[in-house]
Amino acid sequence: MKRKLLSAILCVSMVATMLVGCGSKAETATTDTAATEAPAAADTTEAATEAAAEATTAGGKIGVAMPTQSSERWINDGANMKEQLEKLGYEVDLQYAEDDVQAQVSQIENMIANGANCLVIASIDSSALVNVEQQAKDAGIPIIAYDRLLMDTDAVSYYATFDNKGVGTAIGKYIETAKDLAAAKEAGESYTIEFFMGSPDDNNAKMLYDGLMEVLQPYLDDGTLVCKSGRTSFEDTCILRWSQETAQQNCENYLTGFYADEDLDICATAFDGFAYGCKAALEGAGYTTDNWPLITGQDAELMATKNIIAGTQTMSIYKDTRLLAEKCVTMVQAVMEGAEPEINDTEQYNNGKITVPSYLCTPVAVDKDNYKEIIVDGGYYTEEQLAE
Ligand code: BGC
């Protein structure tokens, strides 16, 4: 009885936490509903390309707007972009906005004011940049969306990213194989699972969730996977701004509220930062190697890869940021020189205004069995870095 009451209290506090987690983007997002008499997207892209091509002859300035330095991947992304663009002779203005939406708007405004010829944007809130994107478009400055789709705008020319739904499917398939869910189903066995999904203002997060659930939903439906918190929808499991702290808090709440009598077997997380949060919560709750759950992640950060080797994270999704930067740079070059970049998807990425021509890089699942081949042999991290 007491336990039930405690659970109920924890559930209520968890719902409050979740609300904090998913938040409302109205708090930070700049709103933009201004109707504009914009020319058709194709015309704009053409005009922007011509303007950018003229600028190239006089040297070119590229503004690169990145979301945050709090996670390693974006530091690598920014560094790779800068290095590759500078090699081609462009001047680069690289800015990080530390997950502050207004700061990112100001940074992009400054880039425009300072004469950028092309903008590369990895957004914080993908719908919050509509005004400033319009400003760029009016000034004939082409925009490339980097990793995260820019929503509700026709000012974006191209999009370089990873197959975001494919990331979710890869995580789902990893869980399915590692736990042999098909056999468990046959045998009438079950595993407990909790979900930690990405930021609701990032289009990638919902796509990842869709890919993940394409694989796992049937097992939730037939009881092979049991989510004791009952929180399986995207709305219930998303975490605003990909906050590691919120993931840890959510995991702590789940463990106390629902896993006092039974172990949590799987933390299905969408980000290495969430995996770190879960790890801390599990350690705090007394989990050991004897009952450590399967923990997924995304980005194959250095620390995540070390944790994979140590056994405190099971897998991650390796996204070669060098390759993404390379693809993005070809898009920059194309708009600056009036050429056509390589595109491999013209259907999936509709941003509410236009379908943005995209290049999707392939994500790869890594774990202790293949990290050497993929990550070390691929030159992403050295053995020395991993041993430090
Ligand atoms: C990226 C992920 C990253 C996440 C948190 C997403 O938009 O696609 O690779 O883990 O943001 O930074």
Give me the residue spans of the domains in the chain.
32-162+321-361, 164-298
The closest-lying atom of ligand 1 relative to the alpha carbon of residue 74 is: 12
Digitized pLDDT (tens) for each residue of the chain, 388 residues in all:
333 333 444 333 443 333 334 433 333 332 333 333 333 344 445 555 554 544 444 469 999 999 999 999 999 999 999 999 999 999 999 999 999 999 999 999 999 999 999 999 999 999 999 999 999 999 999 999 999 999 999 999 999 999 999 999 999 999 999 999 999 999 999 999 999 999 999 999 999 999 999 999 999 999 999 999 999 999 999 999 999 999 999 999 999 999 999 999 999 999 999 999 999 999 999 999 999 999 999 999 999 999 999 999 999 999 999 999 999 999 999 999 988 899 999 999 999 999 999 999 999 999 999 999 999 999 999 999 999 8
Sign of CA dihedral 191, 180, 314, 76: negative
Name every residue whose Cβ is closer than 8 Å to that of residue 74 and which is 6 or more positions away in sequence.
66, 67, 68, 96, 122
- Cα separation, 297 vs 188, in Å, equals 28
Ligand 1: centre distance to CA 36 (Å): 31
Residue nearest to atom 4 of ligand 1 (CA): 271
Distance set, CA 207 to CA 23, 45, 296 (Å): 19, 26, 17
Test site for ligand 1: of 68, 69, 71, 73, most ligand atoms within 8 A of the Cβ:
73
Q: By the 8 A CB rule, do 59 and 91 touch?
A: yes
Residue nearest to atom 9 of ligand 1 (CA): 299
Domains 32-162+321-361 and 164-298 in one fold: yes
Residues near ligand 1 with C-beta < 6 Å?
71, 73, 147-148, 198, 202, 204, 242, 271, 298-299, 319
Nearest atom, ligand 1, residue 67 CA: 12
SS3 316: strand
- Whether the Cβ atoms of residue 336 and residue 140 lie closer than 8 Å to each other: no
Domain 164-298: which CATH number of 3.30.750.200, 1.10.10.350, 3.10.560.10, 3.40.50.2300: 3.40.50.2300
Question: What value does the CA radius of gyration of the chain take, rounded to a whole number of Å?
Answer: 22
- Report the separation in Å between the CA atom of 58 and the middle of ligand 1, taken as the mean of its atom positions: 35
From 299, 320, 349, the mutation candidate for ligand 1 (largest count of ligand atoms within 8 A of CB) is 299
Locate 369 and state its tokens: 């069995």
Protein residue with its CA nearest to atom 6 in ligand 1: 204
pLDDT of residue 168: 98
Q: Does domain 32-162+321-361 have CATH number 3.40.50.2300?
A: yes
Ligand 1 nearest atom to the CA of residue 68, by list position: 12
Q: What is the pTM of this model?
A: 0.86
What contacts 140, CB < 8 A, 6 or more positions away? 47, 48, 50, 51, 52
Taking the C-alpha atoms of residue 13 and residue 6, their distance in angstroms, rounded to an integer, is 11
187 CB-near residues (< 8 Å, 6+ apart): none
